[in-house]
Structure 1
Amino acid sequence: MSTKTINRPSMLRHWTYRYVIILCIGLLSIGLLSFLWVRHSTVQNRLQLMQLLAQELAEKVTSPEGSIKLPNNFGDLIDSRQRFYHIPDHVSVIIKNNSNQMIYSQSNQPNIADPQGDKPAQPEPPKAAQYTVSEPILYQDTTIGTITIGQTKKAITKINQESRLLALLLGGIGLLGWLVIYLILQKLTRPIRDIAEAAKKIEAGDYNIELQNTVKEKEIYELLVSFRGMAVRLEQLEDLRTELLAGVTHELKTPIASINGLIHAVRDKIVTGTEAEEFLDISIKETERLQQMVIALLDFNSFASGKINVEQIQFDLGKLLKEITYQWSLLYQDENLDLITELPPQPLFAYGDPSRIQQIIVNLLNNSRQALSGQNQEQIKVTLLTQSSTMLAIHVTDTGKGIPIEEQKNIFERYFRGGNKKLAVHGLGLGLTFSSMLANALNGKLSLVESSPQGTTFELLLPRI
């Protein structure tokens, strides 16, 4: 089944492209609104200037006798005052008396009306779409006529210079915004690209990665630290996996080789009689040890996948500890081993699964016994204490050689075995891992209290009733 390869853009290109689109839409919206506002303000301003021009012209055409009289060169006067008020293009000027008789008319186009005013007024030109303002012509507070000034809509709304300035401003902002986001994204994506390259190296099996430590952003720095920690952890797990494969292979190969050699010796009658029976007994013990290792692997995998149920019942924890330590001591009564059990005088009831608690305690006792090997004073003490109003504590203490400081942080890791234990004791390194998982399933906790060359103490916390 073929899979289609998706051509994904880089993060820098992806977000820069989207930012530019959003920026363009935003700037176009701002530009449109600004254009409309500037045009509206310009129209209002020009209408006010046209109103002032109309008032000034109304005063100019009023004679001392109270009639409307056009001054000489009235057309030039209009052009001069129009330039003074900065009114663009030509304006139309219409003057009428009270009888609505046209006295003067000048269209928006130049040289249509007689600038001297000594000829009859021309007919009113055809009206185009335009803005107009009117001002009464007063003589002693009496209206003797009106003056109307108009300008085409195209001329009065023309804002070419303002439009160019607005376009340049928005274009500059857009270019600056794109440059800023490009530089920011380039800086932010650089550590992500480094992480991607480091991930490829890890995928190829190379855990020796180098990531920059000079980033100032908190989130990026935390990402780099987490990734670096993950790489170290993966390297440790890879080492453990390699070591596990070698250890399991060795642990399984040794008893199989022993069983194979012993059985062949009996079958080929190299040994006979009592010696043959002894060889068979050794083969049985090796088979049982092999079976125990397989069971340990199966139990751990089953529990890790959540396929083992844990009961929750009430029971006397002191009574259970007494039974566990007694049964365990019977197995090693021939050894020079002092097992002490300290229990409170009053019963202490816990809530959990007695069989699972027995697994944890027995594993701790076995570890303590292995740590005592070769010590002068061999003693293991199991103590039941009241930790709090809700928890009970079981301490398992030995006088063994202790756990090296550098190994203490890894003792609960699956398949981990200490340097001394690898050489002296057969196993898979699952005991404490499995015990810790059981303690958590019982709503408790298994932890290392202390360890030194004088001994080690483990603590198991369990809910009390």
Structure 2
Amino acid sequence: MREFFTKRFSLAITLVIFVFGVMMATVLVAAVITFALQHLGIISNHSQLPVFPLITFLGFCILLGTSLTAFLSKKALNPIRTVIDATRKVADGDFSVQVNIKGIGELEELSQSFNKMTQELSGIETLRSDFVNNFSHEFKTPIVSLRGFAKLLKEDNLTEAERQEYLDIIITESERLAALSTNVLVLSKYENLEIITDKAPFRLDEQIRKTIVLMEPRWSAKEMVINVELDEVIFSGNEDLTQQIWLNLLDNAIKFSDLGGMIQITLTKAEDEICFTIQDNGPGMDDRTKVHLFDKFYQGDPSHSKSGNGLGLALVKRIVELCDGEVYVESEKEKGSIFIVKLVA
């Protein structure tokens, strides 16, 4: 019984109760007026009512019922008006607006859905703004460097060592700009891709081994140790697309590992799930960094001291999603990071 009274009324039941209440109020008022007329002796129980006064009385009852309905309906429609006003604010670009409607089931669910929508829109707007700002920054920095060092090369008083240094910087910045442009185009392509084509079975463990060999100059230059434990796994997918996952994750692990560090790579298969992990002993990351790690152009190091443009992990996430898998990170400050990729076998 208690649950019955505490349960939210549906909109249909609320409207039925509302109309019934208006009708009862109208009948009650009509009965009171009739009783009053009888008490004053204007009409009697045995007398026959004249037609005109009866029509007038009925018209009054109708007018009274209509007035009560119009007045009370304004109260009943207030929650909907609240949502309409909030929607207008969202249309004007205010995504901070929230509505709080209680008591009626459908309207309460509407307010919750509306609040969730504004939160998502706010997050998308923030992400869009950050994307534009970071994109502009990432492109502007190498272009400014190229222009600056190109002007310096026009000076006649440069030594040969300075000239070579400036040329090396120009080459490095040009490669960075080219890589950024390529990554932006690749990410844009995969974001608009819904279905992976050209699927074929291949040895996933062999692909990962080839990726490690391909990246050997990078990890050898930092005198790193790569420990590998790979089960033999056959995976059906697009081989070129899948390799981008391992290239970016290994590149990220090398980038954030110290000189002489170690990277542990494992690949296992259990029933219908394939699990790939890559663990480094780098600086790790805090909770805020983990939340935004797979956002485009996001870099946990605000100084941008590490080479990169913040697109590699966003690319990894999108490719894994296209493979119907998931990727996430486990990390703590000063304790390294573990990236985990799970795919459907």
TM norm structure 1: 0.56
Percent identity over paired residues = 26
1:9-408 alignment, distance < 5 Å: 172=61, 176=65, 179-180=68-69, 183=72, 185-187=73-75, 189-211=77-99, 213=100, 215-306=102-193, 310-344=197-231, 347-373=232-258, 378-386=261-269, 388-408=270-290
CA distance in 2, matches of 1:447, 1:177: 61
- 1:463 matched to 2:344? The reply is yes
1:308 is displaced (CA, Å) by 8.5
Mark the runs of 5 or more structure 2 residues left unpaired by the alignment: 1-14, 24-45
CA distance in 2, matches of 1:270, 1:440: 55
1:349 is displaced (CA, Å) by 0.7
CA distance in 1, matches of 2:289, 2:80: 34
CA distance in 2, matches of 1:340, 1:284: 34
Mark the runs of 5 or more structure 1 residues left unpaired by the alignment: 1-18, 28-85, 87-158
More helix by share: 2
Bigger Cα displacement from structure 2, 281-290 vs 169-178: 169-178
Residue number in structure 1 paired with 2:36: none
Bigger Cα displacement from structure 2, 160-169 vs 193-202: 160-169
SS in 1 for 2:277: strand
CA distance in 1, matches of 2:75, 2:226: 64
Q: Is the 2:278–2:339 Cα contact (8 Å) retained in structure 1?
A: yes
SS in 1 for 2:226: strand
CA distance in 2, matches of 1:269, 1:364: 45
Residues 401 and 274 of structure 1, relative CA distance in 2, 3 Å threshold: closer
Residues 336 and 377 of structure 1, relative CA distance in 2, 3 Å threshold: closer
1:251 is displaced (CA, Å) by 1.6
TM norm structure 2: 0.74
SS in 2 for 1:402: coil
1:313 is displaced (CA, Å) by 0.8
1:324 is displaced (CA, Å) by 0.8
SS in 2 for 1:306: coil
1:179 is displaced (CA, Å) by 3.7
Residues 248 and 426 of structure 1, relative CA distance in 2, 3 Å threshold: farther
Letter in 1 for 2:152: A
SS in 2 for 1:332: helix
- 1:429 matched to 2:310? The reply is yes
Q: Which has the higher contact order (CA 8 A, sep 6+)?
A: 2
Residues 422 and 248 of structure 1, relative CA distance in 2, 3 Å threshold: farther
Residues 415 and 334 of structure 1, relative CA distance in 2, 3 Å threshold: closer
CA distance in 2, matches of 1:357, 1:421: 30
SS in 1 for 2:292: coil
CA distance in 2, matches of 1:188, 1:431: 53
Greater Rg by CA:
1
CA distance in 1, matches of 2:205, 2:268: 10
Aligned length: 302
User: 1:164-201, CA deviations, whole angstroms, 9 ceiling, x for partnerless residues?
Assistant: 98997898589648745863x53454333333333333
Residues 260 and 178 of structure 1, relative CA distance in 2, 3 Å threshold: same
SS in 1 for 2:215: helix
SS in 2 for 1:461: strand
Query: How large is the Cα RMSD of the aligned pairs?
Result: 3.5
